[in-house]
Structure 1
Amino acid sequence: MPHGDSSATGGPTGAERFPRWVYTRGAEPDPRFSLANERTILAWIRTSLGLIAGGTALEALDLPLEPGLRLAAAIVLLVAGATVPIVAAVEWARTERAMREDGPLPGAVTGFVLVVTVAVVGILVLLSLLLR
């Protein structure tokens, strides 16, 4: 049985798995690498939940901040928290496809991730300065 053929065991074939544009190309990679890739996307999801919780708490708590600034910071955190899972899914798919095609792995930091990171850190620094 070839390494990537799961039809003999009754498992789904590449054409039956989602997303098809990832699973129909190449051969099954070592399961350890696929599982590591899945753990990475789960870490991104945890980060997303933290950003959403932070944005919600920032607006819900009665902090001694200017209301406009507090709302703007909460919106940035909520938008970043809503966007991170989308980026995580795209990065997971790119990495999984690269492993299946035995190609080079995509770069770790995309431009979007860098912009979101700088924005979130900037807001947190600004809030820490304003709360002094």
Structure 2
Amino acid sequence: MPEPAWTREGAEPDYRFSLANERTFLAWIRTALALLASAIAVIQFLPASALAGTRTGLAAVLAVAGTLLPVAAYRRWARIQRAMRLNQGLPFTPLLVLLAAALGVLGAAVVVVAVVS
């Protein structure tokens, strides 16, 4: 796989910062794996609800989030690497707020489905 063009821009950042950025990327990957595992757990262990399709819908949302999160994580990692190479400020990402809000809503939905069932 060819190296992205941005890897030839600017100066090589301190390896400690690059490794810290990589650790953050790996944390996002772990979160994606947890979302996928949660989708499986919802389908397997959450009782069928009076609300038809709720269990499947929750699992689908978790699975889609777990599938898209690694893509967003890579893009975030690359943007931060590029910013460090060019000695720029780190870019803002709304992903943290979106993920926290979505997980809060999904968690509440799982509780409601579990109580209703």
TM-score normalised to structure 1 length = 0.78
Counterpart position of 2:7? 23
* Aligned partner letter, 1:91: R
Superposed structure 1 runs of 4+ greater than 6 Å apart: none
Q: Identify unmatched segments of 5+ residues in structure 2.
A: none
1:96 to 2:81 alignment: yes
Q: Percent identity?
A: 39
Change (3 A) 1:79 1:38: same
1:77 to 2:62 alignment: yes
Q: How does 1:8-47 map to 2 (within 5 A)?
A: 18=3, 20-47=4-31
Aligned positions, number: 114
More helix by share: 2
RMSD over aligned Cα, in angstroms?
A: 1.9
TM-score normalised to structure 2 length = 0.87
| 60-69 or 72-81, which deviates more | 60-69
Give me the whole-angstrom Cα distance separating, in 2, the residues matched to 1:131 and 1:46.
Answer: 26
Give me the whole-angstrom Cα distance separating, in 2, the residues matched to 1:17 and 1:97.
Answer: 16
Q: Identify unmatched segments of 5+ residues in structure 1.
A: 1-15
